[in-house]
Structures are given as C-alpha cells and as structure tokens.
Amino acid sequence: MNIYDMTLHQLRKMLSEGDITVQEIYSSFAGRIEEVESKVGAFVNLASDIAELQAHKAADRWSEGRNVTPITGLPVAIKDNISLAGVPNTCSSKMLKNYIPPYNATVVEKLAEDGALFIGKTNLDEFAMGSSTETSALKITRNPWNLDYVPGGSSGGSAAAVAAGESPAALGSDTGGSIRQPASFCGVVGMKPTYGRVSRYGLVAFAGSLDQIGPITRDVHDCAIMMNALSGHDICDSTSADVPIPDHTTGLKQDIRGLRIGLPGELFHEGIDASIREAVYAAVDLLTGMGAECVELSMPHLEYSVPVYYILATAEAGSNMARYDGVQYGYRASGAEDILDMYIRTRSEGLGTEVKRRIMLGTYMLSSGYYDAFYLKAQKVRTLIKNDFDRAFTRVDLLLSPVTPTTAFKAGKRADDPLQMYLSDICTIPANLAGLPAMSIPCGFDNGLPVGMQIIGKPFDEITMLRAAYAYEQSTDWHKRRAVITG
C-alpha cells in the first residue's frame, strides 16, 4: 500500500513504531498532489512552505518524544473559507481572491498545536453556497471516482482531496449538508458535529445559526481522532458550547447490541433513487444482524425542511454578505462615478450568480411586509422540525437515512437548474436546522460511484453515532476502496 493511501491511524502507528518518518509522509502526499492535482483540482492554494516548516517541527517532536499527539506530523487540508494566517482565504470568490487573513481560525490553531501539517487550502462553492463546487469562481473540482462527475459541495475540494489520496484528512464546513453530501459523493467519511461542539471562529460566515466546521476522513476511526483535535469551548465564538469534551475514540469498539435506530419515512421517500434505498436498507439489515433494533418512524415536519432552510439560510447569508462592499477589504471595482456606483459595480463584478441569487432571496425574506410571512414563519416551522427530532429521540438512540437522493451527477447537469441543485441536500438539511450531529459513511456503489449512509445523533452524543458507524464500517470493506484516477 502506498503511503498516500493510508489512514491517519495507520500512519500514526507506523510513526510510533519507527517504520516511517514525518518527511516520508509529507513527501508522499506532496508527490501525490503533483501527480493527480491537475486532473482533480481539489486545491486553490498549496501551503508548501508552511507544511515543510511544520514537518521539521513535527519530526523534532517525534525524535524528542515531546508533545506527540495522534496527528503530529500528519497532513490536513483546509477548506478555503477557514482562516490560515498568511495564506489566501478566498472562499473561491473573486471578491476575496487576494485576501490574506492575519490570524488562524481556532480549529487551525488547535491542529497546529497538535502538530498537523497544513498541506493546502481546498476549493469550494463560492462562499460555501452550492452543492457541487461548480459555483467556485477559481477552478473546477472533479470527482476522483469519475472525473466527468462533480465531487459534491460545498466542501467538494476537501472531499475530493481525501478521496484522491492528496491528504488523509481535511476540514470542511456544513451549513445544509456541505460536509456530508460531498463525503457521500466521494466515498469518504464526513461529520457535521453538534452545533457549538467545534468553534466557528475564523470561519467565513454563510448562515451563523447553521454553520459548523467538521472533519472529512477516510474512515470512522480517523473521524474520531479529528473530533478529539477539533472539539472544545472557545471564548472567541459566542455560539461555542461550554460542555465536557469526551474522547471520541473510546466507544468505537463497543458492540451495538440493544442500540435503537430510527428510520424516518420522510427521508426514504420516492424521490430517493431505488439503488440508494437498497444500499441503505442493506446496511440496516447488517446493523440488525449485529444486535441493533431498527424501527420505522414518522417525523411529519421534515417535509418542510428545504423551504425553511432556503428562507433562513438566505436571510442570514444576505445579512452576512453586506460586509463585502469594496470599502474595507476584498475586491473593489474600478471606474465608479460615485460611492453608490462603486458598491453596485463591486458586488456585481465580485460575486457570482448563485451568491447574488441567495442575497436577493434573503433580502426579500427580510423586507418590510414579508418578514412575518416568510422569515418568522420559517423560524416557527424550524422549531416544529426540532420538536420532531426531540420526540424521535425519546424512542431511539440514533436516526439513519440516505445522505443524498442520487449518487454524484455529471458536471454541468444541474448548473442551470437551482431547484434540482437545492434538492441534493433534502436529507441533510434537517440536522442543521435542529443543530444535531450527523455523519456520512460509505455503504455501497452504484455504477462505479459511491453511495453514502447518514447517521444522526442526539445533541453532543457524537460518541454513540461514531460507535454505530464504526461497527458497520468494520463489517464491510467500502471504506477500504480507493479511487483510481485516469484521464
């Protein structure tokens, strides 16, 4: 097996046993990037100088046995809406193409303290608004399993980098499915933690009541390792929860006998491809055979999740995007006659079609005369959706569903059909509205493209979710498969 095909925990074991060096690990992934990046297009900026310096420091830590953690000396890719000091934080937008943050996001700071190597910044849908990474103003990212297909979005670059062997782990952000959907499309593991579990300080805001940073990895064990590194209260983030931080790896090897898993009928509806339903139901059968009890249940308000999300998310996005006006930082249009003309030109030229569409939708939702009819009503329905989850979790420990209605689709197929693109997240949005932890794990293939299964947990109970995911994963070999990149 190539070094770049290995997981975090495999690399960590080899380092601890002296079978490999930090420099060999870095060189392998750097070489893999050189080999396939021109085909995949996962990165918008590489951070070679930073990573090489970090590799030297990590090697010293290993040789001295000083402050060695499970990720010391191991590469991590960072979605390009998360601040890494000294490296452009573009959000894949013309508006921020030349913006270089002077500070690290809290999650970046945590990983740096643990000795990770920041191999580069990954592509995304512009300002994380999209489900295919096609709205990026900077480049095209392709699915490593078939380069004619999209990797999903908005964290498509992060998922593609992990699936292509360009990094063993990556950071993404998830507002309505932006970690889980690309993880599903690319056949890797992706987790959205409970809202407040991981600091959002240094994440460029899309919709503050929905955004969460989380890991994308090759397997569940690596996901648990990353969660240990990322979790914790942060005084710089007012939404960060001051709750105990568990060791997310402790429950991985516990059996799942007696675990009650709910199957919400609303997430298995007729709009889900038959092949995906079959793959998820096969996983249900396997979990049942391992001692879990799987029960069907109804959560009637989930059917309103997509319209509720696109009211609330666009309203928050419209407010957050007001700061990009060409005055303080970022792109400024030239040739303006006055300040109003400068505002108009800057935002017209600096922002893409999808971002402008969401700003306009959000402005409408918050406008006088429509606030009560749309925004306020959506907030009330959001509460009803959360109540559905609360009731479900009095009966079950976890919920299980497909991640997406289809496998990855061909590039360009939905670019001119926003509604179909928005429906890509129909199964993932509810967990964001309720602030719950949720993850995608591979559960099959259809026509050579990965299928993902979603597990949703109770608030701050990522451990039970990881326990079930790990039990399923160890009984299959989907996570061991690697994309063969041709073309």
Considering the candidates 28, 79, 131, 440, report the single residue annotated as catalytic: 79
pLDDT beyond 90 at 272: yes
Confidence tier at 296 by pLDDT (50, 70, 90)? very high
79 as an active site residue: the answer is yes
Q: How many helices (H) and strands (E) does the chain have?
A: 15, 11
Active site residue 27: no
Q: Is 165 left (phi over 0), alpha (psi -120 to 50) or beta?
A: left
What is the C-alpha to C-alpha distance for residues 5 and 11, in angstroms, rounded to an integer? 10
377 catalytic per annotation: no
pLDDT of residue 415: 81
Looking up tokens 């009503």 gives 377
Mean pLDDT calculated for residue range 474-485: 96
* Pair of tokens at residue 270: 């007729």
Q: Round the average pLDDT of the chain to a whole number and report it.
A: 97
Question: What tens digit of pLDDT does each residue of 38-74 get?
Answer: 999 999 999 999 999 999 999 999 999 999 999 999 9
Catalytic position from the list 83, 132, 173, 178: 178
Structure tokens, 327:
């005055």
Instruction: Provide CATH code, domain 3-255+473-480.
Output: 3.90.1300.10
pLDDT average, residue stretch 113-121: 98
Give the confidence band of 486 by pLDDT, cuts at 50, 70, 90.
confident
The DSSP letter of residue 110 is: H
pLDDT of residue 419: 79
At residue 420, the pLDDT reads 84
- Considering the chain, what percentage of its residues have pLDDT values greater than 70? 100
Which one of the listed residues 83, 92, 154, 158 is annotated catalytic? 154
| Chain centroid offset of residue 377 CA | 28
- Those residues with Cβ within 8 angstroms of residue 27's Cβ, 6 or more apart along the chain or in another chain: none
H or E segment to which residue 398 belongs: strand 398-402
Confidence of residue 421 (pLDDT cuts 50, 70, 90): confident
Q: In the numeric block, which tokens belong to residue 89?
A: 């934080």
Q: Which of 89-93, 159-163, 335-339 has the lowest mean pLDDT?
A: 335-339
How far apart are alpha carbons 348 and 356 in whole angstroms?
8
Between helices 305-320 and 377-392, what is the axis angle to 10°?
Answer: 130
CA angle, corner 430, sides to 224 and 303, nearest 5? 150
pLDDT at 210: 98
What pLDDT does residue 273 have?
Answer: 96
What are 343-354's pLDDT values in tens digits? 999 999 999 999
**468-479 confidence digits (pLDDT tens):** 999 999 999 999
Q: Is residue 487 scored above 80 in pLDDT?
A: no
- pLDDT score at 191: 98
CA distances from 257 to 228, 249, 254, 472 (A): 25, 18, 9, 12
pTM over 0.85: yes
pLDDT tens for 444-470 read 999 999 999 999 999 999 999 999 999
